[in-house]
A and B are shown apart, each in its own frame.
Chain A
């Protein structure tokens, strides 16, 4: 007799009130003041972005510093097929952005009117654009090529940073 499988529908779901702990200031300043804060190690001077309040290399505290909102694309890709949580957003650009002055690069969305590989290539200058409605999350901002900045901040849902 042919095997008959029995399948059930199920879902795993957990609600959180997750604390950002020592990183909280980054998210509060992002949400309230459209500032991007990094941290600078009190010993070696390394600038961490995304920030960490302790230097993982020196085991010494790192202090908050306000970063420039311009930077350079270190590497990027354009995503055409993805997870269930993001599939409605395809295609989208993401890349590692090195803010001017930072020693590390951060992953962020790269928005562009023409989302083609040459537009989001290594070395391209980008600038941060902010959502008008912010929640204190990484999705509160994204980067655009510098020459598209004025067009993006003119859109009703976005605005420029406080820099």
Chain B
């Protein structure tokens, strides 16, 4: 297997709506930014040097286009080269990074573009005169259409079921503990110029915000966003050829699809996909599930909902089961805590541009490891970071990427 490095990161601003860009125009912008990032390090490459593309695009109904990847392929000048599209719900981004990694690790491609985009807010609900209910409906078609969609199941009610079951078992996360995630991530976003929802708020603000789905409140939920994110991945030979001095090596990729029917699971208060994906990724990277918190500097987690971030602390092995809520009370995942989680603001702070999100999270972790995260840079000592993507019905899909800056360790 070839070694694989992230040598370029391009992330557009996350916005409520781009009136001035289509999805393929946004994808072009992120690609251009990623190429510029490679060239900032002294290389001179263009899109013509990229040998293949892996596309992360979740929802055809958002884009008002089936097979949107082929139209992007044309617009970004990648004709007559291989392009593969990944769609794995909220985990689309992480899974896309995994497949782009495989493309390079296998030797199929020396220089691969990993490109995610989503543009949801062209959906419009005529009856309320707002976008969100129609965006949520376009997502709700991802629930099982026979048994679950007709019951009014949607993303928030799916996640809240697992969070409520977790609370029944452990008495955590409480509403206050969940609110702390929202305060943290909206607050972290203040230092990220690309974030959609930077806000200085309090636990009370979260608890007093509008109820969405008991006990999730408005500020416990991420906003759907429009954005694109791109990574350029290279094998070791290309890294040398292009004289990249700060490659961020992908040392572990783990993914798992758990049962999409929550009712089939042995334990409803678990996001099992998280556990299997984390263990696989750590094993590949030679890291220890029980010591992972001490082995990495930064974690970009998939915080679509605050309570889910708390449970993820446990399932990714940062703290024992049932102690995620206590860990955030003790400031563990804060910028200055034991292991900063979502220093860019995560989904709650940046917004959730589904296909782009996990690629943004991976790119953000890579920038942190390179020391190029800007105002939201955290301290890097071990040279390792993690990006986490989860989604789909009952959070069935999960993918985890481990990255390492081998220069930082020297």
CB-defined A-B contacts under 8 Å, sample of 9: A75-B162, A82-B136, A84-B133, A86-B154, A89-B152, A94-B151, A96-B263, A104-B264, A107-B148
Q: Which residues of A contact B69 (CB under 8 A)?
A: none
- Bound state CA distance, A79 and B213, in angstroms? 4
A20 to B145, CA, bound (A): 11
Q: Is A160 an interface residue (CB 8 A)?
A: no
Cβ < 8 Å to B, chain A residues 1-37: 3, 5, 7, 10, 12, 20, 23
A86 pairs with B147, CB closer than 8 A = no
A43 at the interface (CB under 8 A from B): no
Q: Are A50 and B147 in contact (CB under 8 A)?
A: yes
Interface check A106, CB cutoff 8 A: yes
| Chain B residues, CB < 8 A from A83 | 133-134, 136-137, 139-140, 152, 154
Q: Across the interface, do A12 and B61 meet the contact criterion of CB distance under 8 Å? A: yes
**Contact status of A77 and B160, CB under 8 A, knowing A108-B151, A109-B152:** yes
Are B61 and A75 interface neighbours, CB within 8 A? no
Residues of B within 8 A of A89 (CB): 152
The minimal Cβ–Cβ distance linking A139 to chain B, given in whole angstroms, is 5
Contacts of B210 in A (CB 8 A): 80-81
- A-B complex: 6 closest residue pairs judged by Cβ atoms: A105-B263, A84-B133, A5-B19, A83-B137, A86-B152, A83-B136
Which residues on the A side are within 8 Å of B133 (C-beta)?
A: 82-84, 87
Residues of A within 8 Å of B215, CB to CB, are 117
Known: A50-B147, A107-B147. A78 touches B213 (CB 8 A): yes
Q: Kindly state the interface size class of chain A when it binds its partner.
A: 35 or more
Q: List, in ascending order, chain A residues with CB within 8 A of B211's CB.
A: 80-81
Let me know if A10 and B64 touch, CB within 8 A. yes
- Contact-residue size bin, chain B (C-beta under 8 Å from the other chain): 35 or more
Q: Say whether B127 contacts A84, CB under 8 Å.
A: yes
Report the minimal beta-carbon distance from A118 to chain B, rounded to whole angstroms.
11
B165 touches A74 (CB 8 A): yes
A122 interfacial contact with B, CB 8 Å? yes
Task: Name the contact of B150 in the complex, choosing from A74, A78, A96, A139 (C-beta under 8 A).
Answer: A139
Minimum distance in angstroms from B149 CB to a CB of chain A: 8
Is the CB of B164 closer than 8 A to any CB of chain A?
yes
Q: How far does the alpha carbon of A23 sit from the alpha carbon of B151 in the complex, in Å?
A: 18
Distance of A109 Cα from B153 Cα, bound (Å): 10
Chain A hits for B61, CB < 8 A: 12
Whether A20 touches B146, Cβ cut-off 8 Å, given contacts A76-B164, A84-B128, A87-B133, is yes
Chain B residues positioned under 8 Å from A139 (CB to CB): 150-151
Q: Which residues of A have CB within 8 Å of B140?
A: 83, 85
User: How far is B154's CA from A89's CA once the two chains are assembled, in angstroms?
Assistant: 14
> In whole Å, how far is A8's beta carbon from the nearest beta carbon of chain B?
10
B102 within 8 A of A: no
Which of B19, B125, B211, B214 has most A Cβ within 10 Å? B214
In the complex, are the beta carbons of A23 and B146 less than 8 A apart? Answer: yes
Are A77 and B161 in touch, CB under 8 angstroms? Answer: yes
In the assembled complex, the Cα of A98 lies from the Cα of B268 at a distance in Å of 12
Which B residues touch A95, using CB under 8 A? 161
On whether A96 and B262 interact (CB within 8 A), knowing A84-B125, A85-B140, A122-B168, the answer reads: yes
Contacting pair A96 B136 (CB below 8 A): no
Bound CA–CA A78/B210 (angstroms): 13
Inter-chain CA distance A95–B146, complex, in Å, is 16
User: B154 contacts which chain A residues (CB < 8 A)?
Assistant: 79, 82-83, 86
**Which residues in B have their C-beta under 8 angstroms from that of A80?**
210-214
CA distance A94 to B149 in the complex (A): 11
Contact string against B for A residues 107-124, beta-carbon threshold 8 Å, 1 for contact and 0 otherwise:
111000000010000100
B406 touches A (CB below 8 Å): no
Interface pair B152/A94, CB less than 8 Å apart: yes
Q: Is the CB of B164 within 8 A of A77?
A: yes
- Across-interface contacts of B139 in A (CB, < 8 A): 83
Which residue of chain B is the closest to A139 with respect to CB atoms?
Answer: B150
Contact between chains at A75 and B165 (CB < 8 Å): yes
- Expressed in whole angstroms, the minimum distance between the Cβ of A23 and any Cβ of chain B is 7
Considering only residues 262-285 of chain B, those with a C-beta below 8 Å from chain A are 262-264, 268-269
